[in-house]
Amino acid sequence: MNGKAIFLDRDGVLFDNSDQYYIWKQEQIRFVDGVFDNLKCLLLNGYQLFIVSNQGGISKGLYPKDDILNLHAGLIQTFRNNQIEITEIVFCPHHPEIEKCICRKPDSILIEKLLAKHKLSKEESYLIGDSESDMEAAEKAGIQKIKINSNQDMYPFISFLIR
């Protein structure tokens, strides 16, 4: 294992979701302050970037899976336009009120699959999230965790990763 990685929660970490819980359309996206600069710094320090997100609104019938796939395709392009490469985005479409699964955070299967697929070092990988379920998923996957304040610049929490 030789790659180091940052696994990012989406809503509250990358997207400001202070006035809307579910985000599934491009026009709903408001980036948290500092996201582009912070992600560029992480890339320059050798981290691969991944997004791992719970999208239970799919299971609840609030929006179709295709809307999330389209939003994520647009997100990847927006980041590329800003010289930021997201290696992969994965999400759990389930909601515990509707069905049981093993992919929804706080479970760690999505992270574990990415670690194996991309031959990443657990010791040099971090999950950055804003919830206890994010922190629990990191623990279960055996990677380090960084809990940040929702909808706020992550720099104060990740500055030690950036040289």
Q: How many domains in the chain?
A: 1
Q: What is the pLDDT of residues 17-48, one digit of tens each?
A: 999 889 999 999 999 999 999 999 999 999 99
Catalytic residue, chosen from 11, 16, 130, 134, is: 11
Q: What are phi and psi of 101, to 5 degrees?
A: -150, 175
Known catalytic residue: 9?
A: yes
Give the separation between CA 67 and CA 81, rounded to whole angstroms: 21
What is the domain extent for residue 52?
A: 3-161
* pLDDT at position 21: 87
The pTM for the full model equals 0.96
Q: Find, among 129, 133, 135, the residue nearest to 148 by Cα.
A: 129
Catalytic residue, chosen from 9, 16, 130, 134, is: 9
CA dihedral 133, 102, 86, 127 (to 10 degrees): 30
CATH of the domain at 140: 3.40.50.1000
